[in-house]
Amino acid sequence: MEPSKRLAASLLCWVVIFASSAQTGAHSSTQCHFPAIFNFGDSNSDTGGLSAAFGQAPPPNGESFFHHPAGRYSDGRLVIDFAAQSFGLPYLSAYLDSVGTNFSHGANFATAGSTIRPQNTTLTQTGYSPISLDVQLFQFEQFKSRSGYFRQQGGVFEELLPKQSYFSEALYTFDIGQNDLTAGLFQNLTVEQVKASVPDILEKFSTAIKNVYWQGGRYFWIHNTGPVGCLAYVIDRLPILVPQVDMAGCATPFNHLAQYFNQLLKETVIQLRSDLPDATFTYVDVYSVKYQLISGARKYGFGNPLRACCGHGGKYNYNRYFGCGSAIYKDGQKVVIGKSCNNPSKAIIWDGVHYTQAANQWVFNKIVDGTFSDPPTPLSQACHGHKQ
């Protein structure tokens, strides 16, 4: 390129940068360019893992957006989908999905029912996934080393697998812990007993993060756990006394348990910052966003915040034995009894356990700008945390 053209090109480049920073405010020059997202978690961010291994999340899951089951426990997209979309990245393929996957910009290791600590029960016994966080890490290690090997073979592998450099440039997202708490409660442990297990749970969490760090990961985006005491699958199964129900209709002791977990999670993240000073950690208070939505449902244009959109009967339209999409056979005919409501976009809770796409979008819109994060960095700038 001749010098004058080069100058013109670089001027044009500056004009573009200034124009885009004028559009989005003074901070846009610090936007991060994450080429990939690697996600770890449970059903809050499962985009097909449990479906691939243990049976499809049945219709009407997926009805509002994908118009067919899409491995998600929701009528549409999850918070992780909105996050990927905000970076212009494709929705994450589940690592366990063997058909139709494209991992060029990330992979999702989350499965519904996953816990941080491995459970000593099977999926059929208690519903918790055997793909606990330690297993998700084994899968990630396999994924990283095998994609390095296969990408070198060229051809289609080059199009379907991430570049090796992406592993250190990617955003690593985590949303896990809720099931560790409910697993204890459903074993009839008291809230105090479950609280006593939290330090051990978080030690395992910390080990998982360090493992990703040793594999090259540097940018971490960590969701805390939501107000589990507001979810039908907990309050329907573990009835509590009236004085322990708050204004929103949620069970205070279980929400306190979630808050206790979150307080220790936040301390764990602070410790990780000092143990791994060249990594960046954003702790996101999803609890407060979800609770704000549930307690202010009507103000935000939603209906009864505790009632499942998709389910079968009872106070919360939730039945433990007949979930969303479940069917019975009557005179040889299949009859779906776990049906969806008329307007999922006005519901917060999808199936008594998970959130609707409308609620997920609402939550994403609240957390994306950093208002609920520590440090208060927007998602688009999560490569610049507060370093030690």
Ligand X SMILES: *[C@@H]1O[C@H](CO)[C@@H](O)[C@H](O)[C@H]1NC(C)=O
Residue whose CB is less far from ligand X, 55 or 155:
155
For the window 135-174, what string marks contact with ligand X as x by the rule CB under 6 A? ---------------------x--xx--------------
Q: Does 240 sit near ligand X (CB under 6 A)?
A: no
Among the listed residues 75, 97, 351, 374, the single catalytic one is 351
Q: Which stretch binds ligand X (CB under 6 A): 98-106, 202-210, 255-263, 284-292?
A: 98-106
- 43 catalytic? Reply is yes
**Dist. CA 56–CA 72, nearest whole Å:** 9
Nearest approach, Cβ of 153 to ligand X (angstroms)?
14
Closest CA relative to residue 72, chosen from 89, 102, 52, 88? 52
Contact partners, residue 378, CB within 8 Å, separation at least 6? 27, 368, 369, 370
Would you list the DSSP string of 182-235? HHHHHTT--HHHHHHHHHHHHHHHHHHHHHHHHTT--EEEEE----GGGSHHHH
From candidates 119, 129, 178, 182, binder to ligand X by CB under 6 A: 119
- Whether the CB-CB separation of 107 and 93 falls below 8 Å is answered with yes
Q: Which tokens in the block code for residue 127?
A: 């519903």
- The piece of 115-123, 298-306, 315-323, 338-346 that touches ligand X (CB under 6 A) is 115-123
Bridge partners, residue 282, by sequence: 221
The residue (of 116 and 347) whose beta carbon lies closer to ligand X is 116
Q: Are 195 and 253 in contact (CB under 8 A)?
A: no
Instruction: State the minimum distance, in angstroms, from the CB of residue 183 to ligand X.
Output: 7
- 203 interacts with ligand X by CB under 6 A: no
Q: Where are the extended beta strands (E) located within 244-386?
A: 280-284, 327-330, 333-336, 373-374
Catalytic residue list contains 33: no
User: Judged by CB under 6 A, which stretch of 33-41, 102-110, 248-256, 312-320 contacts ligand X?
Assistant: 102-110
64 or 179: CB nearest ligand X: 179
Residue 93 CA to its chain's centroid (Å):
14
Please, which residue, 184 or 385, has the CB nearer to ligand X? Answer: 184
β-bridge pairing 280-284 and 373-374 = antiparallel
Q: How far is the CB of 131 from ligand X (least distance, A)?
A: 14
97 is catalytic: no
Per CB under 6 A, the list member of 117, 144, 223, 290 interacting with ligand X is 117
Cβ-Cβ contacts under 8 Å for 21 (sequence gap 6 or more)? 28, 29
Among 30, 153, 187, 193, binds ligand X (CB under 6 A): 187
CA distances (Å), origin 68, targets 71, 85, 180, 198, 288? 9, 20, 30, 38, 31
* Per-residue exposure over 245-270, b if at least 16 CB sit within 10 Å of its own CB, e if not: eeebbbbebbbebbbebbebbeebbe
The binder of ligand X chosen from 31, 101, 102, 345 (CB under 6 A): 102
In this complex, which beta carbon is closest to ligand X, that of residue 158 or of residue 275?
Answer: 158
191-214 helix and 252-275 helix, angle to the nearest 10 degrees: 30
Shortest Å distance, C-beta 19 to ligand X: 26
Q: Would you say 254 and 238 are in contact if contact means Cβ atoms under 8 Å apart?
A: yes
Residue count, binding to ligand X (CB under 6 A): 12
Cβ proximity to ligand X, 141 vs 159, nearer residue: 159
- Interface contacts to ligand X, rule CB under 6 A: 90, 102, 104-105, 117, 119-120, 156, 159-160, 187-188
Q: Tell me the catalytic residues.
A: 43, 351, 354
